[in-house]
Structure 1
Amino acid sequence: MMKTIIEQSTGQCVVKSRLQYPETINEREYKAISDGLIEGLIPLRTEKSKAEVVLQSTLVGMVSLESYLSRIVSKSEFLNVVTQLIRIIRECENNLLNIGNLLLDCRYIFFNPETKKVNCVFWPIINNQQSYVWSEFFQDLPYHAVFSKDESHDYVAHYLNYFKHSIPLSINRFERLIAAIKENRPDSTVLGDIWPIPTNEASLKQALYCRNCGNEFWEAANFCAACGSSLEDAETSQVKYLDISEVLGIGGNQSTSDTAVLGTKESDSGTTVLGADAVEEPAFPFLVREKTQEKIFVDRQSFRIGKEAQHCDYVVSYNNAVSRNHADIITRDQRYYIIDNHSTNKTYVENRAIPANKEIEIFSGTKLRLANEEFVFYL
């Protein structure tokens, strides 16, 4: 497996990668990138010897995206980064470059503080043994950022909800969603095709999707109109239509009692809609315990979860892997955090183990795991 390393010196850093068998250089991609023909990709060069081939890119006056996001970032700054990364992915697609070779990792993406431009490293490799998936990267990206406390963070929840939707992920839909969030527009002409909405909102319909790009078809077709791929193995799924203004939380006159919550498990009767009952419930954030589908209101400023009844606000029953005082959920200034209390089997946020005794911000739809006990946090 090809291993990427960074060598830093005063004012510059060099990103290097040594090819491993059976990896070889794609000469067409290499020439386009080394000549600087692909906007947003850092030019590279090779060092060849009898023993090895090394690809490397040199950067001056830039910081890693990991470092940039670790300072406080505003909504416009975060979405500007996302927009530029989408543009780079689209540029790769337009030049027939393999997106799996784009290093979608915050350590290897770079930001120029002067020009505000994002630059990426792309390894032009055939038989790449470590490819990257754009949807996994973007879903994980908000958890690398420290967001400004002076702004509403609803947009982060809207952003994350996209990845919890049942429709196959598409970079085209994701790009339109980001544009809509940036401008706070519930305009159906802009948002209508992010999640399809028929005249009858409650209807269910068989949808056909291209496995390559996620493009949608309502009638039989042999090839995808968007990417040209064969539709012989196209994916079929039933879609429950939602009001796009409810999904994004903008526009409309919806109340908390009729909001459709994405990311919940489906039953035989359809998608579970939380809060649809006529009885008004307290306006607290809550957890859903995946094993039992129990709804747990986080109704304290410091809400403890564990298996010791004397000290915990919620007791995780029938699970010895959970520690006595496993984790706390903290509410502060309308923001929410989880802290691991030095548990034996750790606490996970979106399948990533978090350090003990450190506040990690969570958002609506965030998946939590205490040892092997899974929860989803909702606002």
Structure 2
Amino acid sequence: MKFKAKIKNSQLIVKVKISSDDVISEREIDILEKKNIRGFLKPKQSRSNLIEYTGPAGVSMSDHLKNPLSKYEFFYIMAQIVDATKKIQNNNLFLNNLILDLRYVYINENTKEIQFVYVPVMSNHICLNVTGFMESIAYSVKPMANQDFDFVAKYVSFIKSLGGFDVSAIESYVSREDKDVARQIRKQNIGQSGFITDKPKDYYEHRDQKSQVDYEATGLLEEGEVTGLLEEDDATGLLDEYEATSLLNDEGTSLLEENSVPFNGASHQEVHFPSLLRISTNETISINKPVFRLGKGRSYVDYFVTDNNAVSRSHADIITRGNRYFVFDQNSTNHTFINDELLAAKVETEIFEGNILRLANEEFIFHL
């Protein structure tokens, strides 16, 4: 698939060209064209292999994440991702057709509302990894000045502990962290029941039959039991199938200002990030994010380990949690070591000043 996005007359327009092997589902395109599902760009098939989407002006998530996020905004993004998956299920759509790529998920920098692209094709064999997409956002987050970013590392640890995409567990976690996010999602989904009709009388009869608790179908819950829904694979990277394109700007129009004021930017004690000294190159690496990934996959990591094929593509994470620091091996092929002690995969191990961190045969000195 090929994507091209631009802003025109204060509206976001995204054109998606599908491959000749893909077949557009008439049922799905009909649902999406007739309904206004909040959080989804509205599609219109212009040619047999071209779909044009329209919606509120916004920038790509990858561009948005170049700016610092507040705690509220971080969890608001996570909540909207969960909400989008629920709306897909409620409207009898296919989850694997949801595009979860930082380049092709869009966000309005004033309202912080996300707009997703859903490609209604019948031959999509991509295995969607929702938790992997959430992790990719967490790995991209930049610290906000004077804000404790411990919540990012804790959330990543929580996501990893699930073993799969668990809607109820994630909703409960987000609600506990910030109840304002849960209330905002429920507020947005009033009237978004999924019921399709062009007769007002039928709509109001349907709405009156639904109680307030039914909004859990499209909004966050205050509390929820842990129930595993979708099985995920171990991949945590972005989708490789989509051709990278930048957000274009038509003459006479402009993108939203990137320096808009973030929501609920509470002031906390400033977090301190450590560094690594790569012994083979004498390079100093600043671990300047709450969850910092190392590996040889340039598109998947925060530090790209060059000239070493023994290191895995996504080898290990350095997690900052308050004034403590942990190493998390991503089930690497040649393992991770601290002072020559083998680390268990998928388990956080604390690391201290002066420790030798080894990824396969590549050594680093950890400094505070």
Question: Helix, strand or coil for the counterpart of 2:178?
Answer: helix
Structure 2: distance between partners of 1:212 and 1:377: 24
- Secondary structure in structure 1 of the residue aligned to 2:173: helix
Please identify, of 23-32 and 344-353, the stretch whose mean Cα deviation from structure 2 is larger.
344-353
Cα distance in structure 2, aligned partners of 1:212 and 1:17: 27
Aligned AA for 1:53? N
Change (3 A) 1:62 1:53: same
Structure with higher helix content: 2
| 1:63 positional shift | 1.2
Instruction: Verify: 1:69 aligned to 2:65, yes or no.
Output: yes
* TM-score (structure 1 length as normaliser): 0.54
Distance 1:341 1:162 in 2: 25
**1:21, CA displacement in angstroms?**
4.2
Evaluate the alpha carbon distance shift between residue 142 and residue 5 of structure 1 in structure 2; reply closer, same or farther with a 3 A threshold.
same
2:43 match: 44
Determine if contact 1:46/1:54 at 8 Å carries over to the other structure. yes
Asked if 1:344 is matched to 2:324, the reply is: no
2:277 to 281, 297, 304: 304
In the alignment, the residues of structure 2 paired with residue 140 and residue 79 of structure 1 have an alpha-carbon distance, to the nearest angstrom, of 14
Which amino acid is 2:314 matched to?
A: N
Contact 1:349 1:367 in 2 (8 A): no
Distance in 1, matches of 2:315 and 2:80, equals 26
In structure 1, C-alpha distance between the alignment counterparts of 2:28 and 2:290, rounded to whole Å = 48
One of 139, 143, 151 as aligned partner of 2:139: 143
Alignment check: 8 A CA contact 1:171 1:213 kept = no
CA distance in 1, matches of 2:90, 2:349: 38
1:366/1:66 CA distance change after superposition, 3 Å: farther
Does the Cα contact within 8 Å between 1:350 and 1:368 map onto a contact in 2?
A: no
Q: Given residue 69 of structure 2, which amino acid in structure 1 is its aligned partner?
A: V
Give the secondary-structure state (helix, strand or coil) at the position aligned to 1:88. helix
Instruction: Name whichever structure is richer in strand by fraction.
Output: 1
SS at match of 1:25: coil
Question: Identity rate of aligned residues, in percent?
Answer: 20
Query: Residues 349 and 23 of structure 1: is their aligned pair in 2 closer, same or farther, counting only changes over 3 Å?
Result: same
CA offsets 1:212-265 (integer angstroms, 9 cap, x no match): 579xxxxxxxxxxxxxxxxxxxxxxxxxxxxxxxxxxxxxxxxxxxxxxxxxxx
Could you say which residue in structure 1 is the equivalent of 2:281? 325
Give the letter for the 2:142 counterpart: V
| 2:4 alignment partner in structure 1 | 6
Partner of 1:181: 177
1:16 is aligned to 15
Q: Secondary structure at the match of 1:108?
A: coil
Bigger CA radius of gyration: 1
* Deviation of the 1:42 alpha carbon: 0.8
Instruction: Give the structure 1 partner of residue 98 of structure 2.
Output: 102
Residue identity opposite 1:128 in structure 2: N
Query: Contact 1:70/1:146 (CA < 8 Å) preserved in 2?
Result: yes
Distance 1:345 1:148, change over 3 A: same
Whether the 8 Å contact between 1:325 and 1:343 is mirrored in structure 2 is no
Q: 2:310 and 2:66 mapped to 1: Cα distance?
A: 21
Aligned length: 249
Cα drift, residue 163 of structure 1: 2.8
> How far off its partner does 1:39 sit?
2.0
Shift of 1:343: 3.3
Query: Which residue does the alignment assign to 2:208?
Result: none
Q: Indicate yes or no: 2:121 matched with 1:125.
A: yes
* Code of the aligned partner of 1:325: T
Q: From the superposition, tell whether residues 340 and 146 of structure 1 become closer, same or farther in structure 2 (CA, over 3 Å).
A: closer
Deviations 1:287-342 (A, max 9, x none): xxxxxxxxxxxxx9644244xxxxxxxxxxxxxxxxx2376454689997978587
Whether the 8 Å CA contact 1:340–1:347 is kept in 2: the answer is no
Shift of 1:35: 2.2
What's 2:184 paired with?
Answer: none
Structure-1 residue corresponding to 2:24: 25
What residue is the counterpart of 1:58 in the other structure? 54
SS at match of 1:304: strand
Any unmatched runs of 5+ in structure 2? 181-220, 233-271, 295-301, 321-325, 338-346, 351-368
DSSP 3-state at the match of 1:38? coil
RCO higher in 1 or 2 (8 Å CA, sep ≥ 6)?
A: 2
Tell me, in whole angstroms, the C-alpha distance in 2 between the residues paired with 1:337 and 1:24: 37
| Contact persistence 2:315–2:331 (CA under 8 A) | no
Residue correspondence of structure 1 range 285-304 to structure 2 within 5 A? 302-304=275-277
- Is the CA contact 2:25–2:122 (under 8 Å) kept in the aligned structure 1? yes
Separation in structure 1 between the aligned mates of residue 291 and residue 89 of structure 2, nearest angstrom: 38
Partner AA of 2:277 in structure 1: R
> How large is the RMSD of aligned CA atoms in angstroms?
4.2
Q: What CA distance in whole angstroms lies between the structure 2 residues aligned with 1:303 and 1:35?
A: 54
Deviation at 1:164, TM superposition (A): 2.3
Shift in Å at residue 151 of structure 1? 1.5
Specify the alignment match of 1:115 in structure 2: 111
Provide structure 1 residue ranges, at least 5 long, that are not aligned to the other structure. 195-208, 215-284, 286-299, 307-323, 354-359
